[in-house]
Every structure is written in C-alpha cells, then in structure tokens.
C-alpha cells in the first residue's frame, strides 16, 4: 500500500498543517513557515499543497489548503498522497473528521501496478488520535481490491479469474464457495445466466459464497459479473466497448463489501452471489425476439441483447430470494440512463424500504460515499409488457431506463424482508484526489456502515 497507516509516530515524522482559506494565522504556523507560505502565495486554496523546507534544506513540514468550507469535501485530502514527498508524516492538529481525512490520503495513494507501472514513493501516515486504524485499513484494502478487479482487462479477468478472486477471498476468511457452471446451469435451473453466457468460450457460471453462522441475520449480496459485454447480437459500436471490462463492476464492489463485512467479524450470515459471464457473439448467442425462461418461472422476451445484465441478475436474485434474507442488496453497472440522470459520481439506488433508504442517505453524507435514491415508479412497470411473454427485458420508448431496469429486477424479489438495487458506474472518468482515473468502489462504505449499524 503506497500510503501505510501506522499507529505510533516516528521521531522523524513531519507535520501536515491543514490551512483554511485566508486563515494562515489559525493554523499554528511558526514565523519562518508563515513567511514561507506568504512568499509562495499560499493562502489555503482547496487542494493546494506547499512543502516547507527546513534550515538545512530538508523537508520540514507541509501545508495543505482546505478552502473556506472544506471545499471538495474531506476526501479532497487524498491529494496529499501525490503531493507529499516520501517518508513519515502526521497531522499537526487532529482534523475535524480525522478518520475520513486519513482514509482519503490512503485512497489517494492507490496505483494499479499489475502491468508494469511503478508503485512510486512510500508514505507512512500516523493515524490521528481516536480513529479506528483497523477499520481504515480494511476499508482502503477493500477499495483497492475493487479497483484492481475493475482495472484488469478481460483477457486476465474473465469468468474463470473472477471465480478465483472469490475463492481467494473465501480462503482468507474461511468461507465456503460453490459454483454452478456451463450446462449444469440448465440442470440447476439458471436458464438466463446460461443463455447470456453460452456464446463465450469461457463457461458461464454462478458463484455462491457463504460465511457466518446459519442462525445469524441473513445478508445477501448479488453482483453483476459480466466480464465483457459486446452487446451480443445487438452489438455495441467500438467506442461503446472500450470500457466494457468494467461491466463486472457490480461483482467487484460486492466482493469489496464482503471483504469488509468478514474482516470486521459482523454477526451475520453473509451470502455472495455472482453470475459471471461474457456476453459474446457466436452461432449459439441468444437473439432479439427470443423468449427465455427464468429461475422464478417468469418468461422474458428479449427486446435487446445488450440489456443482458438484468437477465443474469434476475436468476441470481431468484435464488437469493428463496431463503427470504433479512437484507438483499444487488449492485450492477446496469444502465447508461443512470449516468445520463446523475453522472458518473452519484450512483442511484432503489428500494421500497423507507428505513433503509433513510439510513443509506445518512451514511452516504456522513462518509462522503455519494448515493441518491430514485423512485420505483410503479406506473412505468407496464412499459415492460410483452405480447407473447410475461415481460420484456426493455421498454419500447427508451424512457426512464434506470427506473425500468430496477422495476424489472423488482419482479424477482418477493420474500426478502428488505431489498435495494444499486446502479453504479464503478469508474472514475478522470483523476480525483482520492483515486486515479479507472475502476472505483462506489457505495460500499455507506453500505458497510448501515449493515454494521443494523447487525454489528
């Protein structure tokens, strides 16, 4: 981890001063440091870092601007990971939000090194007083795992490798994994997972991981694991395929969330279900106009083969729902409509559980893990009608795509006590203070907080 969080401050550690805009005097700077700041035109602008030299020319301290009202949020402190010289650092005064500030620096230090990029400098940051360092470490590690999984191209992150990632996580936490693969999906009644993935030379599968006591509250996570999406016979244009390695971002995020839950030892019976497929093209690819049966027995007419994620999720949700979990969460890079509505940074979520919605909104704001509730608008349910099957997988008018996708999934959840669907992007289009352009964890910090508050 390029930024290591330590709990005992070394003697060699140098201070980081958090400076509000036009308020240098309040930062507690000594006279030489104050003079250096003024000479360099540093006045606390949000996100700016100024390294302060010592009398012997060494690095003595750093100033970091937070603006007038913590502009850019606490996660803006992640810029320190790139701006600070390597070595040992600590905050000169405890930040207003010490845990989130330290986490921001840790997240900002992420580098994807699998294909030769160098990890860069090593920074050791002393944990501010009163923070739960173990929580911060496992949170950062979960985010890094999500980023690594999403950033890895499909030639190295297909259904086989996604299964291996789940098995590796299970070994660390003594969880159990079972997998239904290939034509066994038909025998075990997962017809839509099979239909979507059968055209690939990588066998489609349903990955099923279970952890925790049988008698504990049941928390089930379902993640869309479409390792690459050509669009199928309704093929995407080439530009539309450039980021399709990230179409397993829902699976990556539930893996990250599961790692946080297990590492913290929450008293839940955790189940993770990942339908892992490639939506490829060959002579046996499913077609527009086909009618597929589902695990629940609901028949689905295919209006578009590029709306495949909801199909594989439907079979997985059907299985999850059979044991009536206390909480059922699904995460998926499901619709472009969600990005049009809310952009890449603000994932919508859907639930008819008012308490869960309120808890998620509170956690989202508290942890700077953006989420926004969208409506399960029942009148739009009729848009999914079909003349020959129980329903269509798309609407005919193209409106409200994220909402109608959520309504599609809602038909496969009947017994769960509480359910929420997250339509995430799982990607930073550009560099952010808390992480570079590329794969991103979205919503899992807020979800972990809500789950721990309910069942911790």
Which residues are known catalytic residues?
236, 310
First-to-last alpha carbon distance for the chain, in angstroms, is 28
Between CA 73 and CA 77 the distance in angstroms is: 8
SS3 per-residue string spanning the chain: CCEEEECCCCCCCEEEEEEECCCHHHHCCCHHHHHHHHHCCCCCCCCCEEEEECCCCCEEEEEEEEECCCCCCHHHHHHHHHHCCCEEEEECCCCCCHHHHHHHHHHHCCCCCCCCCCCCCCEEEECCCCCCHHHHHHHHHHHHHHHHHHHCCCCCCCHHHHHHHHHHHHHHHCCEEEEEECCHHHHCCCHHHHHHHCCCCCCCEEEEEEECCCCCCEEEEEECEEEEECCCCCCCCHHHHCCHHHHHHHHHHHHHHHHHHHHHCCCCEEEEEEEEEEECCCCCCCCCCCEEECCCCCEEECCCCCCCHHHHHHHHHHHHHHCCCCEEEEEECCCHHHHHHHCCCCCEEECCCHHHHHHHHHHHHHHCCCCEECCCCHHHHHHHCCCCCCEECCCCCCCCHHHHHHHHHHCCCCCCCCEEEEECCCEECCCECCECCEECCCCHHHHHHHHHHHHC
Between CA 382 and CA 391, with CA 385 as vertex, the angle to 5 degrees is: 125
Between CA 213 and CA 210 the distance in angstroms is: 9
Tokens describing residue 77: 């402190």
- The strand pair at 327-332 and 419-423 is best described as parallel
Q: Which of 348, 356, 335 is nearest to 419 (CA)?
A: 356
Do 439 and 149 touch, CB atoms closer than 8 A?
Answer: yes
Q: Which of 180, 187, 344 is nearest to 276 (CA)?
A: 180
């Amino acid at each position: 981890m390029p930024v290591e969080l330590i709990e005992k401050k070394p003697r060699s550690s140098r201070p980081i001063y958090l400076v509000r805009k036009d308020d240098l005097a309040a930062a507690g700077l000594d006279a030489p440091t104050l003079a250096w700041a003024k000479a360099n035109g540093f006045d606390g602008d949000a996100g700016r870092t100024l390294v302060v030299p010592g009398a012997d020319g060494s690095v003595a301290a750093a100033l970091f601007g937070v603006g007038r009202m913590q502009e850019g949020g606490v996660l803006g402190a992640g810029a320190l990971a790139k701006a600070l010289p390597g070595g040992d650092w600590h905050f000169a005064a405890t930040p207003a939000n010490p845990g989130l500030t330290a986490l921001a620096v840790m997240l900002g230090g992420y580098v994807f090194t699998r294909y030769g990029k160098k990890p860069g400098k090593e920074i050791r940051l002393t944990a501010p007083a009163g923070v739960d360092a173990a929580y911060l470490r496992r949170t950062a590690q979960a985010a890094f795992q999500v980023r690594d999984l999403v950033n890895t191209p499909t030639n190295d992150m297909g259904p086989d490798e996604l299964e291996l990632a789940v098995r590796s996580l299970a070994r660390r936490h003594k969880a159990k994994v079972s997998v239904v693969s290939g034509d066994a999906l038909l025998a075990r009644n997962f017809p839509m997972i099979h239909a979507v993935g059968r055209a690939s030379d990588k066998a489609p599968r349903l990955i099923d991981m279970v952890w925790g006591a049988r008698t504990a509250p049941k928390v089930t996570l379902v993640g869309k694991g479409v390792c690459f999406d050509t669009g199928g016979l309704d093929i995407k244009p080439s530009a539309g395929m450039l980021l399709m390695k990230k179409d397993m971002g829902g699976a990556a995020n539930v893996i990250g969330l599961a790692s946080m839950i297990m590492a913290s030892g929450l008293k839940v019976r955790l189940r993770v279900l990942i339908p892992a497929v490639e939506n490829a093209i060959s002579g046996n690819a499913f077609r527009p106009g086909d009618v597929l049966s589902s695990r629940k027995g609901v028949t689905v007419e295919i209006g578009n083969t590029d709306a495949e994620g909801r199909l594989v999720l439907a079979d997985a949700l059907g299985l999850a729902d059979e044991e009536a979990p206390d909480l059922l969460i699904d995460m998926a890079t499901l619709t472009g409509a969600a990005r049009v509505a809310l952009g890449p940074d603000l994932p919508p979520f859907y639930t008819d559980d008012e308490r869960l919605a309120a808890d998620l909104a509170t956690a989202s704001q508290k942890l700077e893990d953006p989420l926004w509730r969208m409506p399960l608008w029942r009148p739009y349910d009729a848009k999914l009608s079909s003349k020959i099957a129980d329903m269509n997988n798309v609407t005919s008018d193209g409106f409200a795509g994220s909402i109608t996708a959520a309504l599609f999934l809602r038909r496969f959840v009947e017994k769960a006590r509480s359910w929420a669907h997250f339509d995430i992007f799982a990607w930073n289009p550009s560099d952010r203070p808390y992480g570079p352009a590329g794969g991103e964890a979205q919503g899992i910090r807020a979800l972990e907080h809500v789950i721990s508050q309910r069942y911790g």
